[in-house]
């Protein structure tokens, strides 16, 4: 995709669909997090995103505070 088309499409998305859109790379973060929350194995997510290791995927797949609270609740302290 040419730079002009990329910028026009990005502008369109920000103005009409999602004002907080920060670029296509952020979609990789969102998808990795969504897959992780749905229980997909991090090794599979890593392969899907073509990462060299799961360590790279771990940076993308950020845990959401609600997920962390649920994990602590499971521990039943």
* Structural domain that includes position 77: 24-77
Query: pTM score > 0.95 for this model?
Result: no
pLDDT tens-digit profile, the chain (77 residues)? 578 888 888 888 888 887 777 777 777 777 888 888 888 888 999 999 888 988 888 877 666 666 666 766 767 65
Report if residue 6 sits inside a domain.
no
Report if residue 13 sits inside a domain.
no
Report if residue 59 sits inside a domain.
yes
How crowded is residue 57: how many other Cβ atoms within 10 Å of its Cβ?
Answer: 22
What pLDDT is recorded for position 72? 67
Instruction: Please calculate the CA angle 69-75-77 and round it to the nearest 5 degrees.
Output: 95
Report if residue 74 sits inside a domain.
yes
Report if residue 18 sits inside a domain.
no
What is the number of structural domains in the chain? 1
Report if residue 69 sits inside a domain.
yes
Q: Do you know the residue count of the chain?
A: 77
| H or E element, residue 13 | none
> Distance between CA atoms of 46 and 32, rounded to whole angstroms?
9
């Amino acid at each position: 995709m040419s730079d002009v088309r990329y910028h026009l499409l990005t502008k369109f998305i920000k103005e009409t669909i999602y004002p907080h859109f920060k670029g296509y790379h952020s979609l990789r973060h969102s998808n990795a997090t969504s897959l992780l929350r749905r229980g997909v194995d991090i090794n599979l997510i890593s392969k899907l995103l073509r990462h060299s290791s799961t360590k790279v995927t771990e940076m993308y797949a950020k845990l959401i505070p609600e997920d962390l609270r649920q994990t602590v609740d499971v521990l039943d302290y």
